Amino acid sequence: MPVAYLVPFESVSEAQFQHSFALNVTAAFFLTQGLLPHLGAGASVINISSYFANKMIPKRPSSLYSLSKGALNSLTKSLAFELGPRGIRVNAIAPGTVDTAMRRKTVDNLPAEAQAELKAYVERSYPLGRIGRPDDLAGMAVYLASDEAAWTSGGIFAIDGGYTAG
């Protein structure tokens, strides 16, 4: 499960840094490495990144989370290049804000005023006017895992209600 420490840069502890990278980067690296003997031509590796690797939300500190997801994007692209000659495809889905237990926990810990600001921000910033649901990501995952995506590798796919379009 990914972890997002949305704390100001100057407040990030070494433990938070290590935990964030362990779950968001190291796990993907070594899981893929460990599965490599079982992955043949036509296999598909799908990482879950985040729009936070490239776009931030005002008043929402994300330096650590953004850094870890940017590292995952870099891993995705480099593995696509390195594993491509073996016929293994590597891509990432970069969701926008999705209504997950992790998000609800983060938002529930915000003061009421900040929660209201965040809700208003989502409504005016997402062209589709809402945050995502987990099932909004399913179609892309199914596509990337399928033979229909046989010539798709090294992509970071924004599934974010249009948020990163502008």
DSSP 97-113: SB--HHHHHHHHTS-HH
The answer to whether the predicted template modeling score (pTM) of the entire model surpasses 0.95 is no
Looking at residue 107, what is its pLDDT?
A: 85
**121-141 tens-digit pLDDT:** 888 889 999 999 999 999 999
Looking at residue 2, what is its pLDDT?
A: 52
CA distances from 134 to 13, 16, 119, 157 (A): 30, 26, 18, 15
Residue numbers of the domain that contains 93: 9-165
Interatomic CA distance for residues 45 and 35, integer angstroms? 10
* Catalytic residue of the set 5, 51, 65, 126: 65
Per the domain annotation, does 1 fall within a domain?
no
Task: Using DSSP, state whether 81 is helix, strand or coil.
Answer: helix
Question: Which CATH number covers residue 152?
Answer: 3.40.50.720
65 in catalytic set: yes
Interatomic CA distance for residues 88 and 46, integer angstroms? 11
Number of domains in the chain: 1
pLDDT tops 70 at residue 28? yes
> φ, ψ for residue 135 (rounded to 5)?
-70, -15
Per the domain annotation, does 4 fall within a domain?
no
